Amino acid sequence: MSAFLTLPIELLSGVLEHVIRPSQLATLCLVNNAFYSFSAPVLYRRAFIYSWHKDGKLKVVKLFRTLSEHPELAKYVEQLSVKDFPRAIATTEREGIMSLCLRGLQNCINLQAFCWTRDGSLSNSILEALCSLPHLRDLEINGHSDGYYDHRTLLQFTRLRKVTLILPGIKIVNLLPTWAARVSQNLRQLTLVCQSTTLINDKVLEALSVHLTSIEFIYLIGCPKVTHKGLWSIISANEGRLLGLGMEVLSLSFDLSRLAELCQQTKALRSLQSINIHIDVKSASHQWQQHIVDLLASSPLQTFHLTLLAGEPAVDLSDTFCAMIVNSHSNTLRKFSVDRMRLSMDALKDICNRCTSLERLFVVMQHEDLDALGVSLSLAQNLRAFHATRSLGLESEEALVVPEPKILALVRKCSWKLSQIGFYTRVKQVDRVAIRDDDGNIRVEPRLVPYESPEIPEPFLVVRT
């Protein structure tokens, strides 16, 4: 410890970037004034309340009381995410909590990203407070405004670069073209999460496309009235600037073949780096795998995510398809992710061998293939995260648990860069420990520790952007 205290204090900032858990950062704040000055900004940089957190209502009150009573701490907040908020409470109590939230928000003068998704909990006063924050560029809200906030208040947000709307109501859908016109110079990412509502359709996207000529990321999730025609209106107006594209649970009439043909003819996706695709095999052409390859032919793809529509029977992803994706994108691919579709061990080995920049690999595999997995993963020299989910229909609870000694043996065959590994519903972090042997030589051994990050592990995300 004495040697540690002699290090230049400026190094502490870099050290703290590797401290993940908020509770640990809070403890570091109590060491001394120097530690506090470096730890407090990191601790308060991101504040979040998720729906699965215990005592969510109490945490909302505690968080916003701190932000309202301590502006010196609120100024550190750059990201604020509230995905749970008490609704079934007395009017007077609700007013008190909302007043607390309002004062706390006004103190977050450096806030850059704001997320508030609980249906029926967002108020107009909260939106108006956000409008006054000079650095806000990322807004994620529930779009059901009726009776809760004035949808026209959104027109005041003209500096946003990223907008996510959850279940937008008819008033906000009708407002979208006007809002897009006002924010078009700055907006770079738009995400519409509709689930089963039919308000977002081709006509809405065509009206938006006039103003989204500088968009870089477009994600459409659960929009059953959107076909390839509506999406093409956005892509074609973009003039090849698109970097990220999400097509998840769209219309049964969506013609992937026609979209691929249009994109091939114009090379409209020549800048695309990331794609998320959901496939409904019942309605898709039997050549859908070839259509995906054609769609991405001109793209310098870094992130590839493909999933089968929930409820569909298990599907084996062909080795030929995987090979074609690797043939086209082996030099650029950093993430390969497949959900609800099984990969063969031959395909997995080919991906690990030829995608030399691969960092994240999320696949579906048979439990009996676990023993052969190490050979494939040892070929991925830059792999940082790996997760294997189970094949559909696997019901044995015993088969859902992979013993830690077996996981650790697998980790030893992987790149030293591997920091996260998971099987089925469990995720572990990989730490490295320096060990001095009897001869005085030092070796580094991996060990498995509980997942500490407050973020949801990426393989478990419902919405991927």
CA distance linking residue 407 with residue 363, whole number of Å: 16
Strand partners, 431: 447
What is the average pLDDT value for the chain, to the nearest integer? Answer: 90
Does residue 458 surpass a pLDDT of 90? no
Q: For residue 447, give every residue at least 6 positions away whose Cβ sits within 8 Å of its Cβ, in sequence order, or none.
A: 408, 430, 431, 432, 433
Query: In this predicted model, what pLDDT tens digit does every residue of 153-209 receive, in sequence order?
Result: 999 999 999 999 999 999 999 999 999 999 999 999 999 999 878 899 999 999 999
Handedness of CA 13, 19, 22, 26 (dihedral sign): negative
Instruction: Tell me what pLDDT residue 313 has.
Output: 63
Instruction: Tell me what pLDDT residue 262 has.
Output: 97
For residue 142, with 0-12 CB atoms within 10 Å meaning exposed, 13-18 middle and 19 or more buried, which class applies? buried
CA distance linking residue 388 with residue 342, whole number of Å: 10
pLDDT > 70 in the chain, percent: 93
Task: Collapse the DSSP code of 304 into the 3-class scheme (helix H, G, I; strand E, B; otherwise coil) and give the result.
Answer: strand
Reported as a pLDDT band with limits 50, 70 and 90, residue 40 is very high
Q: Which of 36-40, 159-163, 291-295 has the lowest mean pLDDT?
A: 36-40
Comparison of pLDDT for 94 and 101, the residue scoring more: 101
